[in-house]
Structure 1
Amino acid sequence: MAALVATLPLQLVCQLIPTNLPTKDVKAFGKTEKFVLNFPQPQTPTIPTIPDGYVPYPDIGVAYKTYYEPVLWKVAKNRCTAEGGNLAIIDSMKKFEYVSRQLKPERVTHVGIHSLFDQDEWVSVKTGLPLTTIPWAPGEPNGDSRCAMVKYEKSGLCNIECSQIVGDFICEIPIPEGYKMPEERFEDIFGRITAN
């Protein structure tokens, strides 16, 4: 490119410079000219992050945020959607184990599985597709209740009446591609910081 610019007349070279760059008027020899102050710098790629309050679980590709605010299932679903996620889709024992660690005793916690459209078909709030591996507690689902939740003292999901039971809730977002877990840092007895 430099060789090309060197062989072009000055008027053509000036046409190669973008017009939206910052300029400054400089007066010299009784004439005012515009000079480009600087060229834009290349953009530094941004490192993907996770919103505050979410706990990442890279091995399952999601991050969870627990709200200890008893609300109805539909309110919980709408709150998660409003912040760019969905109620947690608990479709494996591993996800159930992660979520169970965040529960409070004697409380129920809403998750993103329901059978609102067909009593026999439990679907994900994220995709609307049927789920084939739901970690139900023994004897569940039972009755006509159409929304799933987790109870502190249960070993799997239970079904509840969507519009009558208030509970805490857990939102889920996907972990962004390229996300790196922050390094754990420790201070030794001499006050030195080390990464683990």
Structure 2
Amino acid sequence: MAGLHTVAALALVVALTGGVRCDAPDGYLVDRASGIGYKLVYQAQSWPVARDRCEEEGAKLAVPKTLDEFLFLQKLVRGMSYSAVSGSEYKLIVWLGIHNLDDYRVWKNVDGEKIDETGFHKWSRGNGEGFSNAPEEPHCAGVDAVNWLRDFWCHRRQPYICQIKVNTT
């Protein structure tokens, strides 16, 4: 069932972006401007498990490095079927590959880069402030349909977006 919703969300984004022919694995939709393929996964996982699942298929949790990439990811989230998300109580946040698990004062992406040095690091009001290393603080980041980056608790099971570089023509 989630597969049908994924196809519907992908069709919406293809219509919005003009589509593209590429060498992307099944389930990935390509942002023609960046040459990056994205796959929205409806089976919710904790942030570490989502990171590992993306890596298992040769991808990584999505990392927006430009405003345009972030807005493309947000379009994916806006087009998703929230009722199709399984395993999550709070279906509105979708995991991205951003965290401050190593040092609560420094938000990094899964490539090990500080996000304030990669080009995109705009947070929703009150998010991304990293108050402490305490486990009750949010240490992972995601995106929702209308806000900038959102911090959230890594142990919470959320849908997530994998990304992979593809060849486009």
Q: CA deviation at 1:151?
A: 2.4
Uncovered stretches (5+) of structure 1, i.e. residues with no partner: 1-47, 181-196
Letter in 2 for 1:135: K
User: CA RMSD of the aligned region, Å?
Assistant: 1.9
Q: Are 1:139 and 2:131 counterparts?
A: no
Tell me the secondary structure at the aligned position of residue 102 of structure 1.
Answer: helix
Indicate the residue corresponding to 2:142 in structure 1.
Answer: 149
Q: Structure 1 residue 74 and structure 2 residue 87: aligned?
A: no
State how far apart, in whole Å, the 1-side matches of 2:57 and 2:46 are.
17
Considering Cα pairs closer than 8 Å and 6+ residues apart, tell me whether 1 or 2 has the greater RCO: 2
Q: Which has the larger radius of gyration?
A: 1
| 8 Å contact kept, 1:141–1:158 | yes
Displaced runs of 4 or more, over 6 A: none
**Once the 2 structures are TM-superposed, how far is the Cα of residue 138 of structure 1 from its aligned partner?**
2.2
Which of 83, 86, 107 in structure 2 is aligned with 1:122?
A: 107
Cα distance, 1:150 vs structure 2:
1.3
In structure 2, the partner of 1:56 is: 30
1:102 is matched with which residue?
76
Measure how far apart 1:61 and its partner are: 2.6
Structure 2 residue ranges without an equivalent (≥5): 1-21, 83-90, 132-136
Q: CA deviation at 1:166?
A: 1.1
Structure 1 CA distance for aligned equivalents of residues 127 and 162 of structure 2? 23
Q: CA deviation at 1:109?
A: 0.5
1 or 2, which has the higher helix percentage?
2
> Does the residue aligned with 2:115 lie in a helix, a strand or coil?
coil
CA contact (8 A) 1:73 1:110 kept: yes
Q: Is the 8 A contact 1:124 1:130 kept in 2?
A: yes
Given that 1:92 and 1:135 are in contact with CA atoms closer than 8 Å, whether structure 2 keeps it comes out as: no
Q: How many residues align?
A: 129
Q: Deviations over 1:92-134 (max 9, x none)?
A: 3212211112224552100000111011111111x21211131
Structure with the largest fraction of strand? 1
